[in-house]
Amino acid sequence: MTPPALNPSPDLSLVIPLYNEADNVPVLLERIAAVLRPLPLRWEMILIDDGSRDSTAAALQAAVASYPELRPLYLRRNYGQTTAMQAGFDHAQGAVVVTLDGDLQNDPADIPALLATLEATGADIVSGWRKRRQDNALTSNLPSRIANRLIASITGLKLHDLGCSLKAYRRDLLDELKIYGELHRFIPAVAMQYGAKIVEQEVSHHKRQFGESKYGLDKTLRVALDIIQLYFFQRFLQRPLHFFGYVGLMALVPGGLMLLYLLVLKLLGFDIANRPMLLTGFMLIVLAVQLLGMGVLAELLTRIYHEPKGRSHYLLRQPKASA
């Protein structure tokens, strides 16, 4: 059941995915309330229980009476942080959305500063930078640094810490974004294709107090696959034939030259049946035809994606009011 929306619509929505964070929930809610209740804002907390196996859901249900700002969501199973975060975006009502982790490593005390920077800079996203990160150097810090550098080289987005969950977003931007897979780490990079203005701000980071970390060395493989996906969407979402066609031509040209060379030899009377080049040439030609065909199908899918629901190839934005 969808929780009832606050009336009137809030100025701020907090979106916080949770997975097996029962011990952290009471402390997290208390810290958020201590920071936000003194501010002249209408706000809500959307905490998403991502199919937790502990008593996280019970902790949220028990907290509703004490926190009228709380709007919990309960996913039927563990979908992963990206899907949980998207569920929060879908139900958020605030003009500004702030995301943070539910493990108490992000500090709610940084939220007012993020909101002030968002307003002062006119940015669409203010991304937190955990300059003094309190995580394992091998399993968390190192993969994140490698990913940040790769993303910067691919997209030109110069951020120190893409993986920090503590971020502030304008609602109109999130209405255009949909995240899948594991792309919650790279929302600013995804938002670049929508012309988003992104700034960075240093935030606090604390060691985990309760529960266990959800990250390990397998995160490195997921990050690598996400980067490949992000590169494709960044460069070829509107023209997939250019990607598949380019790779296909790289196979077609050498394959065609090999077979042409062997044809000349055959016409001159040489035996070509046992030459490895014959099989290589045919394999390259088959690969090229498959890639070109995939490119054509991808172009058709692109049109199917945009046209039935009238999705535009471009987005407009309202200019900021002059002072």
pLDDT at 323: 45
Instruction: Give the tokens for residue 224.
Output: 């690598």
| CA-derived radius of gyration, the chain | 25
Q: Which amino acid is at 309?
A: K
Kindly tell me the sign of the dihedral angle through the C-alpha atoms of 133, 134, 137, 139. negative
In CATH, what number does 12-236 get?
3.90.550.10
Instruction: Give the tokens for residue 288.
Output: 């090229």
Identify which of 169, 224, 164 has the alpha carbon closest to the alpha carbon of residue 196: 169
Tell me the pLDDT of the chain averaged across its residues.
83
Q: Cβ contacts of residue 21 below 8 Å, gap of 6+? A: 28, 52, 54, 56, 102, 103, 210, 211
Identify which of 169, 136, 127, 18 has the alpha carbon closest to the alpha carbon of residue 80: 18
Q: What is the DSSP string of 130-167?
A: -TT--S-IIIIIHHHHHHHHHHHHHH----S-TT---E
Kindly tell me the sign of the dihedral angle through the C-alpha atoms of 171, 174, 175, 176. positive
Average pLDDT over residues 133-157: 67
Q: If pLDDT is split at 50, 70 and 90, which confidence band does 157 have? A: confident
Average pLDDT over residues 290-312: 76
- Helix 218-236 vs helix 240-267: crossing angle, to nearest 10: 90
pLDDT at 322: 46
CA dist., res. 20 & res. 96, Å (int): 27
Least confident range from 49-58, 156-165, 312-321: namely 312-321
Q: If pLDDT is split at 50, 70 and 90, which confidence band does 298 have? A: confident
CA dist., res. 252 & res. 246, Å (int): 10
Assess contact for 129 and 196: CB atoms under 8 A: no
Q: What proportion of the chain, given as a percentage, has pLDDT over 90?
A: 45
CA dist., res. 73 & res. 92, Å (int): 11
Assess contact for 59 and 33: CB atoms under 8 A: no
Hey, which of 160-164, 187-191, 196-200 has the most confident mean pLDDT? 196-200
pLDDT at 136: 61
Residue 223 has pLDDT above 80, yes or no: no
Q: Which amino acid is at 280?
A: T
Supply the pTM of this predicted model.
0.73
